[in-house]
């Protein structure tokens, strides 16, 4: 769930979903919208109605690593650093300050090679990995999924942004089946982008 704009409205929205689906857990993606005080108030409000927060993703602005650290320790909810980690050096600072439990890898933030370096470092430092995206098509998302399959060690996959597009301009490659992602079995990404007269194959 996207959160971080209005504490009371955020609590009410999660409460409504909880009433309909009481057994689910929430990942709250703050997109840097909360102060640390507002985030703690949000967590308290969710706990009051019996909601289960399994992860808080980037609740405060990217520079506020101390805020991430405080939220982690004061709420007991695991925290994921997203915008706070745009380079390997950022990841080192997060680890040094014990500011997060997860690092969210996004190749659109860092590029593929730096993403690989960040993921390897995070795992070696004892952090957990999630992977997400911006609003890319399945071409870039397929690269991200390939990173997951090649490296391993990813606990949370948030690779659903192509589903927000009104049409899918890409054929082939991985596919969605409800909450499941099915890999492809051909070389490269095994995707084609139809053109006016023929198809461009993405290898």
Q: Is the pLDDT reported for residue 196 higher than 50?
A: no
Instruction: Count how many Cα atoms sit within 13 Å of the Cα of residue 191 in the half-sphere of its side chain.
Output: 18
Structure tokens at 39: 């985030």
Q: Is 177 helix (H, G, I), strand (E, B) or coil?
A: strand
d(CA 156, CA 115): 15
Domains in the chain, ordered, with CATH? 1-80 (3.20.20.120), 85-203 (3.20.20.120)
d(CA 39, CA 30): 9
Res 197: pLDDT: 47
**C-alpha triplet 118, 179, 181: angle, nearest 5°:** 60
Mean of pLDDT values over 45-54: 97
pLDDT tens digits along 73-91: 999 999 999 999 999 999 9
Instruction: Provide the pLDDT confidence category of residue 203 given band limits of 50, 70 and 90.
Output: low
d(CA 112, CA 118): 10
Percentage of the chain beyond pLDDT 70 is: 96
pLDDT tens digits along 118-133: 999 999 999 999 999 9
pLDDT tens digits along 151-187: 999 999 999 999 998 988 899 999 999 989 999 999 8
DSSP state letter for 2: B
Residue from 136, 150, 161 nearest 183 by CA: 150
Percentage of the chain beyond pLDDT 90 is: 88
Q: Which residues pair with 130 in a beta bridge?
A: 104, 156
């Amino acid at each position: 769930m996207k959160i971080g704009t209005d504490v009371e409205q955020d609590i009410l929205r999660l409460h409504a979903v909880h009433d309909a689906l009481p057994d689910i857990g929430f990942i709250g993606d703050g997109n840097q919208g909360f102060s640390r005080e507002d985030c703690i108030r949000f967590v308290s409000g969710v706990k009051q109605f019996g909601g289960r927060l399994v992860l808080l993703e980037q609740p405060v602005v990217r520079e506020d690593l101390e805020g991430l650290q405080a939220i982690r320790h004061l709420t007991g909810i695991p925290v994921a650093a997203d915008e706070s980690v745009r380079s390997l050096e950022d990841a080192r600072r997060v680890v040094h300050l014990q500011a997060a439990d997860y690092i969210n890898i996004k190749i659109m933030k860092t590029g593929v090679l730096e993403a690989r370096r960040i993921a390897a470092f995070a795992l070696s430092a004892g952090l957990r990995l999630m992977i997400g995206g911006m609003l890319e098509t399945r071409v870039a998302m397929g690269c991200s999924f390939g990173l997951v399959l090649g490296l391993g060690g990813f606990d949370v996959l948030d690779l659903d942004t192509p589903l927000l597009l009104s049409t899918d301009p890409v054929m082939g490659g991985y596919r969605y089946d409800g909450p499941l992602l099915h890999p492809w079995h051909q070389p490269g990404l095994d995707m084609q982008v139809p053109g006016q007269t023929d198809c461009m194959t993405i290898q």
